[in-house]
Amino acid sequence: MLSINLQEEQLITLFENNPQKDIFHHDNQEEYLDAIGKVTLAVKRFLDNNKKPFSGVTPAELRPLFAKVDFDKPLPDYDSLLDEVENLYTNHAVAFHHPEYIAHLNCPLVIPAIAAEVMISSINSSLDTWDQSAGGTLMEQKLIEWTCKEIGFGDLSDGIFTSGGTQSNLMGLLLARDHYAFKLLNHNIKQDGLPAEASRFRIFVSEMAHFSIQKNASLLGLGEKAVVKIKTDRSFRMNSVLLEDAIKQEIALGNIPIAIVGTAGTTDFGNIDPLQEIGRLSTKYDLWFHVDAAYGCGLLLANKSRKLINGIELAHSVTVDYHKSFFQPVSSGAFLIKDKKFFGLITHHADYLNPKDHDHDGLPNQVNKSIQTTRRFDALKLWFTLRMMGKEKLGGYFETIIHTAAQIAAMLQADPAFELMNESDISALVFRYNPRDGQADLCAMNQFIKKSMFNGGEALVAGTKINKQFYLKFTLLNPLTTIDHVKNIFNIIKQHGNEYLQFNKTTTEFWRN
């Protein structure tokens, strides 16, 4: 009797820890299909619920629900799991696809790219070496070649998929730093670390460049002080006369200019630095020219507006973010260089991965070009997208966005209650509500508007500061956002602005009486 009981117990333990369950493998296809199917339906419920881009939930409201979660007690099935995740997450997640979400640089997604994500995660290739990915390596490489061609780079060009703009910008500055240390000082940073002179390296950017440039300069051991910020002109584009003055001044001070970063589409204004002129200066002073086109890369595919990004082909290296302007899920970016020889600066040979003698078998190991090791097959999303839709359609969506933004800019200009701060080359509009009341603190009022909109969740806009003044910002990245959607947003802004004025009047009168 006793021995039989023991056996049963053993059987039960065996069954509970059965590796046949939970793991993705040949004999467990039913569980796989069931799980993916149920999750897809949960995403459908997310779409059905998105009458507005955000629920307005606060951390204080959500946090108590997390206290009940005990990771030591797994849930019995997917239905319970999805219930939990709906309560904690999807019911409140910000809906980037909603046409009245026009806050940050988050695009809606094209469906082929979402479908590819299922395959990317399930098969889980790692793109560092050929022996962990095979065909995936060649697919990534073909998309890199395609992107280089769209940029206008020649036969020597190359590149690598990255986690996004921050990482791509880091790679640009890393190559610039190591190249000039070698060229000017005959110093190998990869091997010997930073030379003393590195504290005098200088990188030139516009004052409107992305903050990752500074962050990366500090990560690279150059310090934030290495970044020289050049004033922009009235259109928020780098002033190239001031750029040349600054280069000369740094040389006169005994510092060592190494790079200029031009922004093709600033995060705040969507404006493009004068790339041709910067390219000319980079040649004249022998500097690395990096173009940060995290936002502006969508122009590469746009027919009418492509010319705005002309000059990008003069760069030594380029950042693109497919997850901003090619309607791809996060993460998906790339770093491209005009001459592949510079990747040699970062290649590291690990005996277990890409030993030096492997280079002679001709096996393409992408790890030689990346600062990551294990790396997602993000390229498959872009592959699905281009093969299902073609570049014309993608470019057309970007063109639509630019066109809508221009119309909205005209509306903001025509309305005396708004002050528009910029003419965007792409689709970012910075403005504020100013009903010319005479009394109102415009910063406080516009901050109130942004906060009230976020709390209400009906429409989401961003905010930014110029000269210490607070402004509202639209980033249009959804080809489905129409003039009528934006008219509705104007009304919401005015409504909250007027609430603010009313409230202030009442309280002022209260104190007066």
Would you tell me which residues interact with ligand PLP (CB under 6 A)?
105, 164-166, 169, 210, 212, 263, 267, 292, 294-295, 321, 333
Please give the Cα distance from 285 to 324 (Å, whole number).
32
Bridge partner residues of 465 (DSSP): 470
Residue 263 or 422 with smaller CB distance to ligand PLP: 263
Residue 295 or 433 with smaller CB distance to ligand PLP: 295
Residue 250 or 378 with smaller CB distance to ligand PLP: 378
Residue 127 or 493 with smaller CB distance to ligand PLP: 127
N residues, the chain:
513
- Shortest Å, Cβ 219 to ligand PLP: 13
H helix runs in 51-195, sequence order: 59-67, 78-85, 111-123, 135-151, 165-185, 189-192
Q: Are the beta carbons of 181 and 198 closer than 8 angstroms?
A: yes
Query: 3-state SS of 77-119?
Result: CHHHHHHHHHHHHHCCCCCCCCCCECCCCCCCCCHHHHHHHHH
Contacts of 75 (CB under 8 A, 6+ apart): 81, 84
Please give the Cα distance from 427 to 39 (Å, whole number).
34
- Shortest Å, Cβ 343 to ligand PLP: 20
Residue 199 or 464 with smaller CB distance to ligand PLP: 464
Residue 172 or 457 with smaller CB distance to ligand PLP: 172
- Shortest Å, Cβ 265 to ligand PLP: 6
- Shortest Å, Cβ 108 to ligand PLP: 16
Buried b (16+ CB within 10 A) or exposed e, 154-180: eeebbbbbbbbbbbbbbbbbbbbbbbb
- Shortest Å, Cβ 168 to ligand PLP: 8
Contacts of 360 (CB under 8 A, 6+ apart): none
Q: Are the beta carbons of 163 and 371 closer than 8 angstroms?
A: no
- Shortest Å, Cβ 377 to ligand PLP: 18
Q: Are the beta carbons of 76 and 435 closer than 8 angstroms?
A: no
- Shortest Å, Cβ 132 to ligand PLP: 24
Q: Which helix (H) or strand (E) holds 503?
A: helix 483-512
Beta-sheet strands, E only, within 264-404: 288-293, 317-321, 333-337
Please give the Cα distance from 426 to 423 (Å, whole number).
9
Q: Is 146 exposed, middle or buried (0-12, 13-18, 19+ CB in 10 A)?
A: middle
- Shortest Å, Cβ 165 to ligand PLP: 2
Residue 103 or 440 with smaller CB distance to ligand PLP: 103
Task: Give the residue among 275, 242, 249 at the shortest CA–CA distance from 261.
Answer: 275
Residue 212 or 385 with smaller CB distance to ligand PLP: 212
- Shortest Å, Cβ 323 to ligand PLP: 6
Residue 132 or 163 with smaller CB distance to ligand PLP: 163
- Shortest Å, Cβ 216 to ligand PLP: 10
Residue 212 or 481 with smaller CB distance to ligand PLP: 212
Q: Are the beta carbons of 263 and 210 closer than 8 angstroms?
A: yes
Task: Give the residue among 412, 475, 479 at the shortest CA–CA distance from 266.
Answer: 475
Q: Is 31 exposed, middle or buried (0-12, 13-18, 19+ CB in 10 A)?
A: middle
Residue 457 or 463 with smaller CB distance to ligand PLP: 463
- Shortest Å, Cβ 164 to ligand PLP: 3
Please give the Cα distance from 356 to 351 (Å, whole number).
8
Please give the Cα distance from 325 to 267 (Å, whole number).
12
